[in-house]
Chain A
């Protein structure tokens, strides 16, 4: 009987810890990123904390210096409220104006200093450009680069 209780209590403790960890994990997981509107609403709450912002790259806001690897752009949802982002590192191939991105980093004052830049891709697939239609030529450009 005593061992049963021991197992029961031990089991309950393990279960409680797991539940607490997973509850935290789920909260973090479900809010994978914040939107610019959420951050601009209560900017003080997000200061100097590592967070992710998910939004679109505002058209006309991208500045890229290939020599110093400095990239800056605004992220926005409605192109009215936006947050300026500064990032140093390689610009991803899929990075474009109007593209969905997720940036990880810290709000420092008005500017978001990003440590990681992830590009979202849309669920819509397209075949538009005619230049890639000639597959032989296209595959050649791949092996060259």
Chain B
């Protein structure tokens, strides 16, 4: 039906490259975080979870941005390939969004004294998770593939709009969650991370490793999706013959 087969070997090669690189670098980051990085003064040991919480947030933002971009691309060009990418990225994004909520709760208990509060940052993040859980319900209920892709694209675009709200929630409203550290604006009006280099560098490297891991999961998932549809088309052809 389409010429996806030409693109597949390239993607397979990327998946094969990203698999060992991302997994080994994540393991390396883990060792570095526990053995090499200094203990933060205020929070002590529990601050270590920042190295998992923040990179998962970044991946969640990126994954749903990819959903947003490819949903627009689908509605514009009506190419199923774009919908497959959006669906795959939404799936990875949903898992990472769940991880954000879980790691946040684990971190919240020792620092705030509670796993959960209904403040604006946490509530809008939960909303993001629910929107994309609904996104898959919508896909599951749609009967024909074109219609599924069209409806999911619309929801994917709307769902992404929650992310700027999440990001700005700590500025717009009074929250228990602290304001941004990495893009903190100092007195001089310039954005500078409110964190010493010894803590910042491992965070940025872990972020990069997590992004590579996201790339690996995304490529793997897109391949699965392609193979699934090739298989279905073959079955339909055989049954027709």
Interface of A toward B, CB cutoff 8 Å = 28-33, 54, 92-94, 102, 116-129, 132-133, 135, 138-139, 142
A56 to nearest B CB, angstroms? 14
Q: Is B130 an interface residue (CB 8 A)?
A: no
The reply to whether the CB of B232 lies closer than 8 angstroms to some CB of chain A is no
**Total A-B Cβ pairs within 8 A:** 99
Please judge, given known A-B contacts A121-B178, A127-B198, A133-B39, whether A29 and B120 are in contact too, CB under 8 Å: yes
Residues in A whose Cβ lies below 8 Å from that of B14: none
Give the residues in chain B near A117, CB-CB below 8 Å: 113
Q: Closest approach, in angstroms, between the C-beta of A121 and any C-beta of chain B?
A: 5
Contact between B174 and A123, CB atoms less than 8 A apart: no
Q: Which residue of A lies closest to B111 (CB)?
A: A121
Not counting A120-B178, A127-B41, A132-B41, a sample of 5 additional A-B residue pairs whose C-beta atoms are within 8 angstroms of each other reads A29-B123, A54-B176, A118-B114, A119-B113, A124-B194
**Known contacts A29-B173, A30-B174, A92-B113; A127 and B39 CB within 8 A of each other:** yes
Beyond A124-B181, A125-B181, whether A142 also contacts B176 by CB under 8 A is no
Chain B contributes a number of interface residues (CB within 8 A of A) equal to 36
Report yes or no: B113 in contact with A125, Cβ–Cβ below 8 A: no
Select A121's contact among B43, B173, B174, B184, beta carbons within 8 Å: B43
Chain B residues near A (Cβ < 8 Å): 35, 38-45, 47, 50, 110-114, 117-120, 123, 172-176, 178-181, 184, 194-196, 198-199
CB pair B195–A125 under 8 Å, yes or no, is: yes
Taking chain A's interface residues, is the majority helix, strand, or loop, or is none over half, making it mixed?
A: loop
Contact of A102 among B110, B176, B195 (CB under 8 A): B176
Query: Contacts of A120 on B, CB cut-off 8 Å?
Result: 112, 176, 178
User: How near does chain B come to A119, taking the closest CB pair, in angstroms?
Assistant: 6
Question: Which residue on chain B has the smallest CB distance to residue A127?
Answer: B38
> Complex: how many Å from CA A124 to CA B196?
9
A123–B173 contact, CB under 8 A?
no
Take A29-B173, A102-B176, A127-B196 as given contacts and tell me if A118 and B43 are in contact as well, using a CB distance cutoff of 8 Å: no
B118 touches A29 (CB 8 A): yes
25 contacts between A and B (CB under 8 A): A29-B118, A30-B172, A30-B173, A30-B174, A32-B118, A32-B173, A32-B176, A33-B174, A33-B176, A54-B176, A94-B111, A102-B176, A116-B113, A116-B114, A120-B178, A123-B179, A123-B194, A125-B42, A125-B181, A125-B199, A126-B42, A127-B40, A127-B199, A129-B39, A129-B41
